[in-house]
Amino acid sequence: MASRMTIGDFSRATRLSAKALRFYHQAGILEPASVDPSNGYRLYDVDQIADAQVVRQLRSLAVPVDTIRDILATPDVSTRNGLIAAHLDRLESQLDATRAAVAALRGLLADPPAQLAVEHRSVPAMPVLAIGQTIDLADLGEWFTGALAELAACEGLPGRQAVGPSGGVWDTDLFLTERGEAMVFTPVASLDDVGQPSGRVRAVLLPAVELAVTVHRGPDATIAQTYGALGAYVTEHELGIDGPIRETYLTHPGSGSAEGATEIGWPIFRTAR
């Protein structure tokens, strides 16, 4: 019993409150070495201090209780590290989402541009190598990154050299119902010489379209402000039509540049030149 500690001493040693220790006991994460049946006093072994410190550190990283239980119950080090790494990945994704939300809000607080620069553009039919798929809006970021990487791997062979920047085509339903058609593409000189692409890549002729085009400059987290301004412009000055938005990436996505540039093309019906 000399190695046993009262809950008070154990609390001081581990910096876990009595309330937290009772909760971890009930959750089956950190059970005391013994509990006096007559008065309910909890006693802890000195050897449990290390586990308690691990629990406190994991909880400071918002690791769920069930995951902590699995980590402590797993004797295999690689499996244990895998559980921790998976949670750290989730935290990093949440942190990225928080940073994006903060950047978007700061963009809304900033003074809007005095006048939106909009170009009316008649885009002819365009031969492209493309990957298209019906996806959920929640999967857009991961799908976009993977599809662009697959397209890049397909480029460079004879007949498949890019003749302009890559782009994306986004169906209205993708935003309206959170599920719709998404496409990323790379323009090529002709469909005659591209051969048979592999994987998800297909040779496609994008249809001709009339667009109201503006350029978003800055990180992707603030692109919603430019979308809003362009949508308002088209509503006030153009005859907008139902059709997908077409983006062109003047700065390659994923380059990490805060000064990235994306052309946004809103489909319109031209009545005059």
User: Which sequence spans correspond to the domains of the chain?
Assistant: 4-73, 119-267
Q: State the CB neighbour count (10 A cutoff) for residue 260.
A: 19
Rounded CA separation 107/229 (Å):
12
pTM beyond 0.85: no
Q: What is the pLDDT of residue 150?
A: 92
Rounded to the nearest 5°, which phi and psi values hold at 230? -70, -40
Q: What is the pLDDT of residue 264?
A: 96
Q: What is the pLDDT of residue 107?
A: 64
Asked whether the domain spanning 119-267 has the same topology as the one spanning 4-73, the reply is no
What is the CATH number that goes with domain 4-73?
A: 1.10.1660.10
Rounded to the nearest 5°, which phi and psi values hold at 65? -60, -45
Q: What is the pLDDT of residue 114?
A: 54
Of 56, 63, 6, the C-alpha closest to 34 is 6
The CATH fold assigned to 119-267 is Multidrug-efflux Transporter 1 Regulator Bmrr; Chain A (3.20.80)
The residue type of 72 is: L
The residue type of 84 is: I
pLDDT by position in tens, the chain (length 273): 557 888 899 999 898 888 999 999 998 888 898 988 888 888 999 988 988 988 988 888 888 888 888 888 888 888 888 888 888 888 888 887 777 667 666 766 665 555 688 999 999 999 999 999 999 998 998 999 999 999 988 877 777 888 999 999 999 999 999 999 999 999 999 998 888 888 899 999 999 999 999 999 887 777 888 888 899 888 888 788 889 999 999 987 654 455 679 999 999 986 655
Cα–chain center distance at 75? 33
